């Protein structure tokens, strides 16, 4: 899909420190509707920190963040939660799955929290899990392999039909072939649904698919050409 011209996320002058460590320094970023933006950078440089801010999970920073033109800092807690549910899907680097629930139950949780019809959510969850070759059955998620759990985490990020999927190294636990099938599926879903994909990526094969690559270095993003 050709990326749109509208920015679905806009951030300006983002500053983030942990104690005396300044991780993000006056960082700007625009995310265009429908684009695949890959973020690269060395370990510890602040990629997960940046994604947590863009995903509105971390609110303790300075600077301006807008999602679809709405300034995040102006929103009440409940409006922010509603905005997150409406626009954003998130795949955490360490998955954040509930170990006792099945794959399907983990995936439908965000949809249930959004007040969606559980049967519809179940159908969506099954569809995505099948696309990712993960069983939706009775097995607790804790017993699935790491790569399977990673795919469950991706499916969960997609269940609410986000405008932007923020994915933190979503194929880090996958072999090359599973990685390619994951990104084939993401390409197909993006063609259908038009969501933007912002992903921290290391694999060269996946970087080739991106519309843009930005490197996080010295607290700022630099276009990779
Ligand atoms: N909650 C926290 N408290 C203190 N320091 C933190 C916290 N979270 C992250 N940091 C520090 O901020 C820096 C950036 O961390 P972050 O996890 O964003 O890096 P990253 O680029 O995602 O690394 P990796 O590629 O290893 O996942 C690191 O120096 C890290 O130690
Ligand atoms: Mg990280």
Ligand 1 atom 4: residue of nearest CA: 18
Q: Is 16 in the pocket of ligand 1 (CB under 6 A)?
A: no
Query: Does 57 fall in a domain?
Result: yes
Ligand 1 centre distance from Cα of residue 6 (Å) = 30
| Residue 183: alpha-carbon gap to chain centroid | 13
Query: Does 2 fall in a domain?
Result: no
pLDDT per position as a tens digit, 95-121: 999 999 999 999 999 999 889 899 999
Domain extent at residue 36: 7-223
Look at residue 127 in the predicted model and tell me its pLDDT: 94
Mean of the per-residue pLDDT values of the chain: 95
Look at residue 46 in the predicted model and tell me its pLDDT: 98
2 pLDDT more than 90: no
Domain count, the chain: 1
1 pLDDT more than 80: no
- Please give the Cα distance from 123 to 129 (Å, whole number): 10
Q: Is 20 in the pocket of ligand 1 (CB under 6 A)?
A: no
pTM, two decimal places: 0.95
Ligand 2 centre distance from Cα of residue 117 (Å) = 33
Instruction: Give kind and range of the element (H or E) at residue 39.
Output: strand 36-40
Look at residue 225 in the predicted model and tell me its pLDDT: 79
- Please give the Cα distance from 111 to 195 (Å, whole number): 17
Q: How many CA atoms lie within 13 A of 105 on its CB side?
A: 12
Query: Does 1 fall in a domain?
Result: no
- Averaged pLDDT, 198-224: 97
Ligand 1 atom 25: residue of nearest CA: 43
20 pLDDT more than 80: yes
Ligand 1 atom 24: residue of nearest CA: 43
Place of tokens 């300034």: 71
Report the CATH number that the domain containing residue 55 is assigned in CATH.
Answer: 3.40.50.300
Residues with CB under 5 A from ligand 2 (ion): 47-48, 93
Look at residue 120 in the predicted model and tell me its pLDDT: 92
- Averaged pLDDT, 27-40: 98
| Residue 135: alpha-carbon gap to chain centroid | 22
5 pLDDT more than 90: no
Residue 64 in contact with residue 71, Cβ under 8 Å? yes
- Averaged pLDDT, 35-64: 98
4 pLDDT more than 80: no
Q: Is 47 in the pocket of ligand 1 (CB under 6 A)?
A: yes
């Amino acid at each position: 899909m050709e990326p749109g011209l509208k920015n679905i996320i806009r951030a300006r002058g983002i500053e983030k420190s942990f104690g005396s460590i300044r991780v993000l320094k006056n960082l700007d970023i625009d995310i265009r509707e429908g684009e695949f933006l890959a973020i690269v950078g060395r370990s510890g440089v602040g990629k997960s920190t940046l994604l947590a801010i863009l995903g509105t999970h971390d609110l303790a920073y300075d600077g301006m963040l807008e999602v679809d033109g709405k300034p995040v800092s102006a929103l009440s807690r409940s409006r922010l939660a509603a905005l997150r549910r409406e626009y954003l899907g998130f795949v955490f680097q360490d998955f954040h799955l509930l170990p006792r629930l099945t794959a399907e139950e983990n995936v439908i949780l965000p949809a249930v929290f959004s007040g969606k019809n559980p049967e519809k959510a179940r159908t969506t969850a099954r569809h995505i899990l099948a696309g990712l070759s993960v069983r939706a059955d009775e097995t607790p998620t804790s017993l699935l392999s790491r790569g399977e759990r990673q795919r469950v985490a991706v499916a969960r990020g997609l269940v609410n039909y986000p405008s932007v999927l923020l994915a933190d190294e979503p194929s880090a636990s996958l072999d090359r072939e599973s990685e390619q099938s994951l990104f084939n599926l993401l390409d197909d879903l993006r063609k259908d649904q038009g969501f933007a994909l912002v992903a921290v990526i290391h694999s060269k094969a996946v970087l080739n698919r991106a519309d843009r690559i930005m490197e996080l270095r010295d607290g700022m993003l630099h276009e990779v050409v």
